[in-house]
Amino acid sequence: MVKLSNITTVEVATTEEINPASIKQFLLTSLLANNIIIDEQSYCSFSYFKSLNIYEIHILNSSTKKFIIEPEILINFYKHTTISSSLSDLFILDNYFVIFKDKSLYTFKEISNETNEDIINLEQHYYKLNINNTYNISAEEFQELKTNNLSSSNFIKLKDDNLFTLFIIWTIVSISIFSFIS
């Protein structure tokens, strides 16, 4: 299991949602623009927040192909529980929170000393969500969830393919030559 502290999160503003056929290229370009190096062990997940026109990109490096991150432990619990899955549910754990919206993992963030009220206010003002239910998950409850979890991660492998690298090198060389000639 990958701890949330091992995940880098980047927010990228856009004018509209990216075409699914172009999303991998968008992710790679956005990470490069934020000085994040992608290698053979890089994985990512992302969410698009339509009300904000922001992509939230989560990146991690893992030497194993099968892993799960802490917030994903709650997915299996959430899908198989008697909790009524309402529009927006907030789960607060010791050092992070997880939001499910319309029965899907929406976002997660690390927290330190924020109160439940602080987190709910953040969600309402930043994500423009009305939290319908709030659940506090203790360390003991989370440990039990970990032992019963059969899920795998929703992160995708992000390999910096050679064509993209070649394009970047070509762009840099072209700009350098043009600048030299001018």
Judged against a pLDDT cut of 80, whether residue 139 lies above it is answered with: yes
The two tokens of residue 107 are 């976002």
9 φ/ψ angles, rounded to the nearest 5 degrees: -120, 135
End-to-end, the C-alpha distance of the chain in Å comes to 54
Q: How far is CA 128 from CA 38, 121, 125, 148, in A?
A: 32, 9, 5, 33
Question: What would the pLDDT profile of 98-115 be if each residue is shown by its tens digit?
Answer: 998 877 888 899 988 888
- Mean per-residue pLDDT of the chain: 81
Highest average pLDDT, of 66-75, 133-142, 170-179, comes from 133-142
Cβ distance 108 to 123 under 8 Å?
no
130 φ/ψ angles, rounded to the nearest 5 degrees: -100, 115
How much is the average pLDDT of 35-44?
A: 86
Q: 90's torsion region: left (phi>0), alpha (psi -120 to 50) or beta? A: beta
Judged against a pLDDT cut of 60, whether residue 145 lies above it is answered with: yes
Question: What would the pLDDT profile of 116-128 be if each residue is shown by its tens digit?
Answer: 888 888 888 888 8
Cβ distance 44 to 67 under 8 Å?
no
Give the pLDDT band of residue 39 (cuts 50, 70, 90): confident
In this prediction, residue 94 carries a pLDDT of 87
Q: How far is CA 153 from CA 42, 45, 69, 131, in A?
A: 13, 9, 7, 25
Cβ distance 3 to 73 under 8 Å?
no
Q: Which residue has the tokens 């432990």?
A: 73
Percent of residues, the chain, with pLDDT higher than 70: 79
Domain ranges of the chain: 1-68+153-182, 70-152
Q: 130's torsion region: left (phi>0), alpha (psi -120 to 50) or beta? A: beta
Judged against a pLDDT cut of 70, whether residue 43 lies above it is answered with: yes
